[in-house]
Amino acid sequence: MLIYIKIWEADLFIKKLYQLTTLTFGEPYDWHFKIKESNRDNSPSTGKREDIIRNKIRDRLKDKYPKIYSSIKNAYKNQIRNSIAHSNYYFVGRYIHPCNYIKNDAASQIQVLSFDEWIDMFHDTMVIYNQMIRFNHLIDDLYSKAAGVNNLLFEVRLNRIDPVEKTEYYLLKYRPEFNDWDFNENKTTAKKV
């Protein structure tokens, strides 16, 4: 259960899943991505964790990638995530009983979860997580090879909103000895939007 909660509570995992989703729809990388920390958080944000996962990732993938949609729908249950996060559940036999069932709340309708249902949820979570790792390795390999044919340099576009809305281009230098990228402060060009 700890692994499940660590994955669905990890800001970096949610950010990567969100960014990958936006890129599949041809949208630019969201450099201003931020998970809203609480209802008192009034700073600009992408949204609350459960809204990002359900509405901005899962539901957007429904028509274009139905298998991924189904895996996320089966794997991520906010009620179970919340129950585990607050140690608000108990076991009886081969069943998990979350203590956060609310009769009139559509988002809290799970009264009991069998171990078999839990295994399916956990399995789908691990498949999604491992595929994200695999995909990130493929992306790293692709960009490092692209930089390799250009003196280890690669141009990236930054779409800024704050403090002024503009698009900027920067050169990143690939460092093969560390398998990472060094940010070069020198802009190649800057264009106002």
Listed in sequence order, the residues at least 6 apart from 13 whose beta carbon sits closer than 8 Å to its beta carbon are 7, 129, 132
Quote the percentage of the chain above a pLDDT of 90. Answer: 69
Check residue 11 and report its DSSP letter: H
- pLDDT tens-digit readout, 150-189: 899 998 888 887 778 888 888 899 999 998 999 866 555 5
pTM of the model: 0.85
Query: Is 60 exceeded by the pLDDT of residue 193?
Result: no
End-to-end CA distance of the chain: 46
DSSP 110-123: -S-EEHHHHHHHHH
Confidence at 192, pLDDT banded by 50, 70, 90: very low
